[in-house]
Amino acid sequence: MNPFLQVAIGGALGATCRYAIYRVMPLAWSATLLVNVAGSFAMGLLAALLAHRLGNTWAPFLLTGVLGGFTTFSAFSLDVLTLWERGQGVMALAYVGLSVLLSLAAVMAGLALGRGIWA
């Protein structure tokens, strides 16, 4: 199957699962926490399964699609751990710090711009 189609189908499934969790969890932050932790666990489990048993044929569907639609935090977590395991601890910590700080700054800038335009 075409990898783009795999990602599209997997992304739809993952996003639907995330939405279902947000519908049943009373607090948005707790749903986000659950999705991020569960997605990161699934990313590790599936990355090991693909690497040791199945090969990369299903990676676009499972990792990029399903888990990418469910939570991109899982990809971030795998990237950080991969850097750490390769002995690039400083790069891993820099990636974490920059990702959090720049993402917070970007959402603040987006909110400010959006409020300036549409409020």
The DSSP call for residue 72 is: T
68 annotated ligand binder? yes
65 annotated ligand binder? no
**CA torsion angle for 89, 53, 76, 19 (degrees, to 10)?**
-160
User: Hey, how many other C-beta atoms are within 10 angstroms of the C-beta on 44?
Assistant: 14
Q: Residue 91: which residues within 8 A CB-CB, separation 6 or more?
A: 83
The candidate with the shortest Cα–Cα distance to 78, out of 116, 107, 104, 40, is: 40
The DSSP call for residue 57 is: T
Binding site feature residues for Na(+): 68, 71
Binding site feature residues: 68, 71
